[in-house]
A and B are shown apart, each in its own frame.
Chain A
């Protein structure tokens, strides 16, 4: 009897949880899962699919969640980019609400690229008349560069938007040349403007005494200066109590893996950083031939404009653009949402 009841309930709920059909609309709200190598990656498509264009958001961190940000609209795109285009959000393997039984060995850049490729193919299958653009932030943008390099002959992606995404990693010694030049330029700018002149003069003196950053102590000092001097460009978006309640109790999220597993996400980030450091994207930018938009903030110390000025001419893509947003830091879409939106629209149209 119990077996029959169990079977009945199983069939009934399988029917209840049946698939959602993708429909073209100005207010699309579709949800899918990609099953790949033991993981079930949730994929949420929201916004204007009738535009014929989907921006696939690739999260940074690495190891940050995505669907929880989309749930509370932390990025602020519900009344922004999602009016112009559809935005697809997915939780990467090991983050957020990605379900399944997979092991730590699958947490690698190679697997993340495979997952990304299959998410792209699934989107193209569900919305065959839509173009797909990657919109990667920070590590997500770096993953986008690498995806374009590794999958450029197989991928149906129409372009890559790299938001605040450096080409270099900590293992690239040249990174610290760009960073030091960035600090010098920013310090000079602020001294000229009379903005915290004493502090920025001290910074300039330090850069003169330390023209090259080679030691751990020099890196620490550099970090201390940018944290103290540029903290005004870090954005904390307030989340209302109503949004939190909605996210915890009335959304598709299970908050336990999504928000209450900080230690796990730290371990995941460490693994990906370690894997990332063995990959040199900067030396391969001439191979990039996908249309590419790079957006960064003038005061982004992680993806400083100085690095993009160096890389820009070497990038192989014939359709490429660099936009440096004023008064913006590492989350330039939060500092300058309208300018960011305009830059994306100009590239995607």
Chain B
């Protein structure tokens, strides 16, 4: 698990170093409601930059923009009675933005998840019961699909809103992985 944290740190360092070198390609900050199974409340914050951008003209003369983004996300969710999860994940995302600003994206995050399991007790072989703060640690990877809108296309500010659904695979776990749905509803603030 320590290696994982080092890797995430390295990713962050590289991301922000590259961002510094290529700041003309755009930097963004993000904040989102990030619910577990949609309704179990959570929040995620993140930052990233646009690694690569390109445009393609369609037959009607309008342009479709595409870009690859790298970022880092810190999030948490509170699933009552099951557990509270806190995760830190670097992520990579491909986004296609239409002429009117509508966006479709695919993304992939991978990183670290710590869970806190509430009201946990252990019973030793002598039958002594002890309450303990408990939880689990996991490597997680999360493929996701994103829909959104880039409001800057209509000149209403450097903001995007988005809905991002990610399926979180948690490992190690009994029978290799556990799965969990995370749904983000948030905004990206683009900073040039």
Contacts and interface: CB of A to CB of B under 8 A. Distances in A.
Given A9-B76, A17-B83, A250-B39, A32 B120 contact: yes
B78 A17 contact: yes
Contacts of B74: 2, 5-6, 9
B136 to A, nearest CB: 6
A223 B126 CA distance: 46
Nearest to A104: B175
Contact of B122 (A34, A250, A254): A34
Given A94-B174, A99-B83, A100-B174, A20 B118 contact: yes
Interface in A35-92: 35-36, 39-40, 42
A158 B172 CA distance: 39
A101 B174 contact: yes
Contacts of A252: 79-82
Contact of A40 (B12, B120, B172): B120
Interface string A10-22: 1001101111100
B179 interface: yes
Nearest to A106: B174
B116 A10 contact: yes
A257 B179 contact: yes
Contact of B116 (A5, A13, A36): A13
Contacts of A118: 123
A122 interface: yes
A125 interface: yes
Given A32-B119, A39-B174, A249-B37, A14 B133 contact: yes
B178 A256 contact: yes
Contacts of A33: 117-121, 134
A40 B117 contact: yes
A309 interface: no
A130 to B, nearest CB: 15
A20 B180 contact: no
A86 B36 CA distance: 30
A290 interface: no
B84 A101 contact: no
Nearest to A10: B86
Interface in B153-191: 172-175, 178-181
B134 A248 contact: no
A42 B80 CA distance: 12
A325 B80 CA distance: 39
B180 A6 contact: no
A276 B78 CA distance: 39
Given A39-B174, A102-B174, A121-B127, A19 B86 contact: no
B21 interface: no
Interface residues on B, range: 35 or more
A255 B121 contact: no
B38 interface: yes
Nearest to A38: B174
B28 to A, nearest CB: 17
B120 A35 contact: yes
B69 to A, nearest CB: 19
B134 A40 contact: yes
Interface string B27-52: 00000000011110000000000000
Contacts of A5: 74
A127 B83 CA distance: 24
A42 B117 CA distance: 10
Contacts of B174: 39, 94, 98, 100-103
Contacts of B78: 13, 16-17
B60 interface: no
Nearest to A35: B122
B100 interface: no
B37 A6 contact: no
Interface in A300-349: none
Contacts of B114: 10
B33 to A, nearest CB: 15
Interface of B: 12, 36-39, 74, 76, 78-84, 86, 88, 114-123, 127, 129, 131-134, 136, 172-175, 178-181
Given A254-B82, A261-B175, A264-B175, 15 more contacts: A6-B88, A13-B116, A14-B84, A16-B84, A17-B84, A17-B118, A32-B120, A33-B134, A34-B122, A40-B117, A100-B173, A102-B174, A249-B37, A250-B39, A256-B180
19 contacts: A6-B86, A10-B116, A14-B84, A16-B84, A17-B78, A17-B116, A18-B118, A18-B119, A32-B119, A32-B121, A40-B117, A97-B82, A100-B174, A121-B127, A122-B121, A249-B38, A250-B39, A252-B80, A254-B180
Nearest 4 pairs of A and B residues by beta carbon: A252-B81, A256-B179, A17-B118, A125-B129
